[in-house]
Amino acid sequence: MANHRRPEVHDADLRGLKYFKILDPLLDRLHKEATQRDKAKNRKLFFDQYASLVLLYFFNPIIAGMRSIGQASALDKVQKLLGCKRSSAGSLSEASRVFDAQALHALVAELANQAIPIAVGKEAEALRGLTAVDGSLLPALPKMVWALWVDDQHRAAKMHVHFDVLKGVPVEATVTNGKGSETEQLRATLQSSRLYVIDRGYADYQLFQDIIDAGSGFIGRLKSNAVSTVIEERPLSAEAVAAGVRSDRVVQLGGPKSGAALRQPLRIVEVHTTDEHGDAIVLLLATNRLDLDAELVALGYRYRWAIELFFRWFKCILGCKHLLSTSQNGVTIQVYLGLIASLLISLWTGKKPTKRTWEMLQFYFGGWATAEELQAHIDQLQDHAAAAI
C-alpha cells in the first residue's frame, strides 16, 4: 500500500499571519486563563496561543489536524507571532480539556457586534434584529461517552446557533450532546431586541412567552394541529396575497391548558408556498409582531434558511465536521473558534463567508495568491455589495 503521509509544515508555507492581529486585543485577555493545576505545572502554552494555533488550522490548507498544529508550533515564524514554544501532542490535548471554552464566548459576541448589516432598505429596517435559531449535529466517535445521541455506536454533539440574518454572522452558540433540547438552549440564551425566527421544533407556547418577556419578538412555525380562537380577521393587501398569504388573524393561541402560558393574543399568518423539493406546503406562522405587514412575516420566515446555509458552510467548507478533540469542552472550543473564523472573514470582506472567498483565502494562506490578488477579490465583493444597495 502507498504511504500517504501528510506534507510537513515549513515556515515558507505560512502566510497572512498579520490578519490575525485584529484578534490581539481580544485574545490578550485569554492569556491569564488557567486553572490552579496549570499554575502548579508552570504552563508554557496559554489559551490565547492555543486559540491562535487552532485558527491557523482553519485558515491554512497545509495544516490538516492536531499533529500538523503541533508541527506548526515549532516553526520560528509562528513562535515569534504567538510568543509560544513548540507544543507536543500531549500539551495540545490537555489544553482542549483544561482551558475554559466559555472564555471564548464573549469574543464571539464582540466580533459579531463589529459586523455591519449586509442587507438594507425598508424590509431590512422592518425586520431589524432578525435572528434565525436552530441546532445542528456534529458526528462524534463512539468513545465520546458524553455525546449521547442514538446509541453507543451513534454519538453526536449538537451546536445550537443564533444567526443574525441581516448581518450574515453568528451571534450566539452553545454545545450539548446530540439529545440536547433546542428549546431549553434558546430559553437559556435569549436576548432583548431580537426578532427570532424558529421552526416547528421550537413550537412551545411557554418559549413564545419567554421570548416576549425577554423584550424580543418571534416568527415561529406552528404544527398543523395547533388550536386557536380567532379574535380578529385582518384584511390582506395585494402584496400579501402575492407573497402567498391566505389569511392573517389575531388569535388566542392554544386551548385552556396548552395556551395557559400565553398572556396576550398573538397573530397567525397562513402562507401557501412550496418546499425545497417544489412540493406545495402550508405554513402557519405565529408572531407577536402585530405591526409587521403580513408579507414581511412570510419573508422573515423564509430568511430562516440563512442558518441552514451557514451550517453547510461551517461543517462542509470550514471543515468543522472533523473534530479536533473528544471532550465536550474541547469540541466547544473548536466550535467557538470556528465561529470566530467565520466572523473574521465577514469583518475582512464586509460580506458573509462563501466558498469562493474561502478558496481565495486558502490560496493566499497557502502561498498561491498574492496579497494584492486577495485584496482585489475583497474589493470586488464590496463593489458588488455597494451596487446592490
Per the CB < 8 A criterion, the answer to whether 385 and 351 are in contact is yes
- Please say which residue of 50, 76, 99 terminates a domain: 99
Considering the domain architecture, whether residues 120 and 84 belong to the same structural domain is answered as no
Per the CB < 8 A criterion, the answer to whether 227 and 249 are in contact is no
Q: What is the pLDDT of residues 298-339, one digit of tens each?
A: 999 999 999 999 999 999 988 888 899 999 999 999 999 999
Considering the domain architecture, whether residues 53 and 105 belong to the same structural domain is answered as no
For residues 270-293, give the mean pLDDT: 94
Considering the domain architecture, whether residues 17 and 50 belong to the same structural domain is answered as yes
Considering the domain architecture, whether residues 229 and 264 belong to the same structural domain is answered as yes
Please name every residue paired with 253 in a beta bridge, in sequence order, or none if there are none: 228
DSSP characters over 204-219:
-HHHHHHHHHTT-EEE
* Total structural domains within the chain: 4
Q: Which domain range does residue 183 map to?
A: 101-197+320-347
Domain assignment present for residue 46? The answer is yes
Identify the band that residue 371 occupies on the pLDDT scale cut at 50, 70 and 90. confident
pLDDT at residue 16, as a whole number: 54
Is 0.85 surpassed by the pTM of this model?
yes
Considering the domain architecture, whether residues 271 and 342 belong to the same structural domain is answered as no
Q: What is the pLDDT of residues 67-89, one digit of tens each?
A: 888 888 888 888 887 778 888 88
Domain assignment present for residue 310? The answer is no
- Residue pointed to by grid coordinates 448589516: 117
Domain assignment present for residue 313? The answer is no
Half-sphere exposure of 44 (CA within 13 A, CB side): 10
Domain assignment present for residue 75? The answer is yes
Which residue type does 259 have?
A: G
367-383 burial, b at 16+ Cβ within 10 Å, e below that, comes to eebeeeebeebbeebee
Report the distance separating Cα 194 and Cα 209, nearest Å: 14
Say whether 41 sits in a helix, a strand or coil.
coil
- The fraction of the chain above a pLDDT of 90, given in percent, is 53
Considering the domain architecture, whether residues 138 and 109 belong to the same structural domain is answered as yes
Domain assignment present for residue 367? The answer is yes
Per the CB < 8 A criterion, the answer to whether 55 and 26 are in contact is no
